[in-house]
Amino acid sequence: MAVVIDLVSPSGETLWHMIAAPEEDGLWRFERIDGRDVSRVGYSVRVHWGEVSEWYDGCNHCGTSDEGMRSCTLQACAEQPYDRLYFRFSRGDPAIRVDGDWMVMTVAGHSAELTRFTEQVI
């Protein structure tokens, strides 16, 4: 039975996580920050056990292991207009509220609307 579960479970996920994970866990794509459309930039995050564990800013990818080690790609990238606000959500400690396939993150007077997705871009 364990072999079958390993074959169908997402990479890196345990059976316990698949059963007990909070509803906000998964991949999320930013659609709007403070009401402005940012969907074309490609901002996204992965939430694991209720905390942002990986993020993609449209150019570079960063992730934090379960042990707290961070690794990032280091491409030279043109700064986008909303990068600084995006970093507050991806590297800060945002409040998270989920409603179906939508998630709202809030931090220090700003809000972001995200949609759940399954495409592996992170």
Would you state the pLDDT for residue 48?
86
pLDDT in tens, 68-82: 788 999 999 999 999
Six token digits for residue 49: 């056990």
Q: Are 28 and 18 in contact (CB under 8 A)?
A: no
Q: In 1-122, where do the E strands start and end?
A: 26-33, 36-37, 43-48, 51-57, 61-64, 70-72, 95-99, 102-107, 110-117
Would you state the pLDDT for residue 2?
45
Polymer length in residues for the chain: 122
